[in-house]
Structure 1
Amino acid sequence: MKQLIFSLSFCLLAMSSLFAQGIQFESGSWADVKAKAKAQNKPIFVDAYAVWCGPCKWMSANSFTDASVGELYNSGFISYKFDMEKGEGPAFAQQQSIRAYPTLLFFSPDGELLKKAEGARDAEGLISLAKPYLKANNNANQEQTTTDNNWESLNAKAWEYYETKSNRSDLSKALKWANTSIEMNRNWYNLDTKAHLLAKLDRNKEALELAVDAILAAQDAGELAEAEETMELLRKLRNN
């Protein structure tokens, strides 16, 4: 019994120590971070910094070490400090159009950019910045659980989001449903849905490939006449 109490006390002390240290940033490559986020279904927080940047140093010494910030970010995010002038940093900076330091970025578990905020934040500012993306991810998990477990319902929900939503977080959520629908039963309906979602997310090359696949699937099913919207999407993508 004493040994059990000691073990529990040690675990609680270790957890308390972890949060007291502030945000625990991941090591490894950007690909490693994205893979971990996807596996754990957690959004990603990125601190894009430069070693000479004064506000970046201030955040590292003050904001990132705050216990409340650590508790929130360590439980809800995969966090990564990214030097924009070394290794993969310059390519990442160009891809994300980073022009100032620090730049704080939030990504969905699938790696889609949700938010980019320039400038330093204190502890309270970091907490305020993070909360919408924790809530969005929790809602996504809940909706995924409650959506009917068949390809038609998942595809219908994904198409509804395509027609009614515009922010990247919701569209990324719909893309996950479309992918699951395709895994259950690959057909031209869900391929078409995914192609439209990819186009709305400005992933035009992938959208073009999926639109072609959808049209071929419709042809194989003898339903090519019904794929008019897919063909219109294909024409638009080829003209871009």
Structure 2
Amino acid sequence: MKPMILSVLTSALLLTAPLTHAAETHALPPGIAWQQGDVDAAFAQARATHKPLFLYWGAVWCPPCNQVKATIFNQQAFIERSAAFIPVYLDGDSDSAQKWGERFKVVGYPTMILFKPDGTEITRLPGEVDAERYMQVLSLGLNATHPVNESLANGLKPKAHLSANEWQMLADYSWDTGDTQLIDAKTLPGALQTLARHAALDHAPAPALRLNLKAAAAAAGSKDVPAGFNKPQALNALNAVLADPKRVRANFDILVITPDDLVPLLTESGTPARQHLVAAWNKALVALASDNSISTTDRLTALDGQLVLARLDLAKDQALPDPLLQQVRSAVAAADQATTNGYERQSVISQASDDLVRAGLLDESDALLKAELTRSHAPYYFMLGLAANAKTRGDNTAALSWYEQAWTAAEGPATRLQWGVGYVNNLINLAPTQDAKVQQVASSVIKEAGETNNAFYERSQRSLQRLATGLAKWNSDKQHQATVDTLASQLSNVCAKLPAADPQRGNCEGLVKAARG
């Protein structure tokens, strides 16, 4: 089907088909006395009532955020426990959310932070674990005698001695959403391994293993082995976890998401160490993919891990074995049919589509995503998957059509900036000679930024930074100077309207310089 016809049909579907879960998924998770918007007022209430404050920072479209809503916030145990703290729900598209995000040094959705009434951060809670473990981590935080930064400082000391609960809090801390405020990302893997060694010496074996896994996860994907990171220590800990089904289950959240980066980091191709690791990891993932005690999304992620391991020694164009492909089709179909909760579907369908793509089943991924456009409360998120599939096929026209539709349909200022910048940068990469189109879309994005409060903070600032960087790279040969000059001037005018004392003014002016190269 031609992209233009496809675009018209999709638009018609979105206009006429009912969004069956829209009301459910745009509403706040029920049963909890969520505070919204004014975080300072919430802290004042926390101080007045001597209660901790629980901050959730997320987005309507974000699959992991929806997973948290479907598996944690809806649990009666969490609802009842919420009476012990002041719960604050901060949507990333609300007016001051990005400014608050910068204040609390959050980098991704979802981020969940527990504070003392005076604003001292106690800990950051992991969003990937199951409800039972989440409640354990929450209880540790609510009963903590020391905030995590103090436990970290003490845990890094030679001959460290912490309580069992302190070691567990460090092992369960959400380092991927809080690493930059406690430890620089470059030194995080080595620091976590130091904590792991000290925990083992301090008779905390389970936290020691988990800290080792988190150190390996933090190192995964690095071009070079991070400073202070010990590969044998990481491999030994990983093998020890994989050899024990109870340890596998206790650390499933790390194991299901890291095999593609960790196996090449820790072992060499063709070696006995690689063969042993792949076999043990695959066995663990097979068990997790059929474990009904974890969520549907996590089971699908475990299946994705199996696909990763199966592809390690295959040529790029080599097909996976038919039984594995059938397993993917069966698992995706079952998940699609069984998942009726609107929050959960946003997460499940996203991961199911990823599984199909990993398996090389792009057409089936397309069919799944297109069907979800009429069901999802945030269909623009799934349009990005359709764009990516088209780009993988080399169909740049269809890819750009989907990126445009996604941006057009996107809701919320921070989301629209992120989607708009993505569209511009894909125009630059896939249609680099279309200066007029690049200028038209980028100009619209800059205009929206100028009309948005707090557009030059946190995620929105990082989105606009990608726009500036993309334009400078596009114009590195000076073939698009007129377009870039026009856009840089427009952005400069936006900056000039910001108060001189506003930190956003400097952020904005830095983008102008970056765009000009």
TM-score, scaled to structure 1: 0.45
TM-score, scaled to structure 2: 0.22
The structure with the larger Rg is 2
In proportion to residue count, which structure has more strand? 1
